Amino acid sequence: MFVSIENLCFSYPNAKTAALDNFSLQIEKGEVISILGRSGSGKSTVLRLLAGLEMPAAGKVAIQEQVLFDDRTFLQPEKRGIGMVFQDYALFPHMTVAENIFFGLFRMKKAEKKKRLQEVLELVELEGYEKRYPHQLSGGQQQRVAIARALAPNPHLLLLDEPFSNLDAELQEKIRKELRDILKKADITSIFVTHDEKDAHILADRIVKIKDGCTDFIGRPCDLLDVY
Ligand code: ADP
Ligand code: ADP
């Protein structure tokens, strides 16, 4: 398996119940996975643990042969090869589109950086927007910059937290299809979190339903329909 998540357990300090209780998931290369669940079910916690923003109490996470976390290992977030798109996009407001995208590319040579900038802008169809500031972009465009920034360092895995929640209903419809095309074109393995079944059905190769920190269902979108 490309990404292997085994029996992750985690509780927030002072919480009465565990946020995640033996959460496991195996992901193939290039798959788009949706984690679907109600508010408070543990979706964001899965992403935070994968990204290395919290330390699990137990379990194991590996991407191919590289262990990110187990009882002996805790790989620092910047060494995990994971890109993240936050719910509010978290673009740096005082930086242009190009500067935002360069941010994660500090190890690259200048010519290489410029080439990569053009590649990711082409991918999200924002060529010519390098000098704009985030406030000069629509919500949908800001989201695409956030995706371009996350993809620029060529991560193994892309995580997206509620990628549609800040967009109005009409735009959501359009962006769902755009995002599906971007993810397929980039050939990136990705996990996105949503509370909206429609997002999951349109975008995901497989859906993981989560309830109270436990997996409730794993299957293809068409299998989920049979459950009802
Ligand atoms: P979701 O993303 O599905 O809304 P979360 O992963 O954010 O769910 O939360 C899972 C559980 O952990 C919930 O019960 C939530 O109240 C709790 N929780 C989340 N963040 C914190 C925190 N910083 N401190 C304490 N409890 C938290
Ligand atoms: P979208 O199709 O992504 O919703 P909009 O309809 O919101 O785009 O925006 C249309 C055009 O107006 C876009 O090219 C966008 O860059 C531009 N635009 C939107 N908001 C601003 C702004 N605050 N300042 C400058 N240009 C803007």
Q: Take residue 140 and report the two structure tokens written for it.
A: 């949908």
Rounded CA-CA distance 187/182 in Å is 8
Most ligand 2 atoms within 8 A of CB, residue of 129, 138, 143, 178 to mutate: 138
Residue type at 206 in one-letter notation: R
Distance from CA of residue 137 to its chain's centroid?
A: 22
Nearest ligand for residue 178 CA: 2
The response to whether residue 100 sits with its C-beta less than 6 Å from ligand 1 reads no
Q: Whose CA is nearest to atom 22 of ligand 2?
A: 136
Q: Take residue 88 and report the two structure tokens written for it.
A: 């509010």
Give this complex's ipTM. Answer: 0.70
The answer to whether the beta carbons of residues 213 and 23 sit under 8 Å apart is yes
Separation of CA 10 and ligand 1 centre (Å): 10
Nearest ligand for residue 15 CA: 1
Q: Take residue 20 and report the two structure tokens written for it.
A: 């995640």
pLDDT, the chain, mean? 94
Nearest ligand for residue 175 CA: 2
Rounded CA-CA distance 99/156 in Å is 22
Rounded CA-CA distance 26/127 in Å is 36
Q: What is the pLDDT along the chain (228 residues), one digit of tens a residue?
A: 999 999 999 999 999 999 999 999 999 999 999 999 999 999 999 999 999 999 999 999 999 999 999 999 999 999 999 999 998 889 999 999 999 999 989 889 999 999 999 999 999 999 999 999 999 999 889 999 999 999 999 999 999 999 888 778 888 888 888 898 999 999 999 999 999 998 999 999 999 999 999 999 999 998 876 554
Query: pLDDT per residue over 134-179, tens digit each?
Result: 999 998 899 999 999 999 999 999 999 998 887 788 888 888 888 9
The pocket around ligand 2, CB under 6 angstroms, is made up of: 135-138, 140-141, 171
The DSSP code for 105 is G
Q: Whose CA is nearest to atom 26 of ligand 2?
A: 136
